[in-house]
Amino acid sequence: MYNYSIFLFANCFSSSLFSSVQEARVPPLTSTSEPPPLFNGTPRLYISYICPFAQRAWITRNYKGLQDKIELVAFDLQNRPAWYKEKVYPENKVPSLEHNGKVLGESLDLIKYIDDNFEGPSLVPSDPAKKEFGEQLITYVDTFTKEVYFALKGDPLQQASPAFDYLENSLGKFDDGPFFLGQFSWVDVAYVPFVERFQIVFFEVLKHDITEGRPKLAAWIEEVNKINAYTQTRADPKEIVDLYKKRFLVLLNSENRLQWASSKI
């Protein structure tokens, strides 16, 4: 029943086959945790291990080799300490970055901010054509995630198909590497946390391989899973499935479709 590509991607996202040494994950802070010494000059990235937006900033930090420069502070999002909202980030969301006495948020802005304001390899290519296409892809990323989330409430395989096809077609634009802009860039960082989650949910819940008929997407997933800066940030697949099941209240009908059942409880 399972073809080779399903076997491959199951290994990519469902196990740590391709990841190397893990940076020890600090335990998530809860409502009873004391704050770190805030605004003492140490840059801090506030995240939650399960949040795809936070994952973007975390991958950026890792890719640029800033593990010793930017301290990671993880939260249990369901049980956040009050001081985070009161003293750090009034929006009370993750990610946020404490740097130079200020706190900045919004994951897409943070990828750029960390890239521009810290040392390490740049995530934005200098080639104007790549830059322009990168901007275009970044403009589309929220639409991409919304389209797939929306599809999960209806006929996921049919409705999400154009969004995944968009990725497949975009991956054909530059041929000097398997990534969106050829080499690994901020575009890959912006998309990968969401593709990770969608691939797991489609496979585990719908038994559908989103890379089927999309060889470039399959190659992209294989290649991002060789990047340690990313593999270190991957979420626990079981936690993702549980979360999505809870969120979308998954009920499979006879046609293997998810039923949106939130109104029934």
Ligand X SMILES: N[C@@H](CCC(=O)N[C@@H](CS)C(=O)NCC(=O)O)C(=O)O
Which of 147/209 has CB closer to ligand X? 147
Q: Using the rule CB under 6 A, give the single segment among 104-112, 123-131, 149-157, 242-250 that binds ligand X.
A: 104-112
Q: Smallest distance from the beta carbon of 105 to ligand X, in angstroms? A: 6
Strands (E), the chain: 44-47, 71-74, 96-99, 102-105
Question: Rounded to an integer, what is the distance from CA 44 to the centroid of its chain?
Answer: 19
DSSP state of 144: H
Question: Rounded to an integer, what is the distance from CA 193 to the centroid of its chain?
Answer: 2
Residue keyed to tokens 């009908």: 253
Among 107, 211, 232, 233, binds ligand X (CB under 6 A): 107
Q: Smallest distance from the beta carbon of 172 to ligand X, in angstroms? A: 27
Q: Smallest distance from the beta carbon of 36 to ligand X, in angstroms? A: 18
Q: Is residue 59 part of the contact set for ligand X (CB under 6 A)? A: no
Which of 47/66 has CB closer to ligand X? 47
Triad 235, 249, 148: Cα angle to 5°: 60
- Give dist(CA 114, CA 208) in Å, integer: 36
- Give dist(CA 131, CA 122) in Å, integer: 12
x/- map, 64-103, ligand X, by CB under 6 A: -------------x--------------xxxx--------
Q: Is residue 127 part of the contact set for ligand X (CB under 6 A)? A: no
Q: In the complex, which residues of this chain contact ligand X (CB under 6 A)?
A: 51, 53, 77, 92-95, 105-107
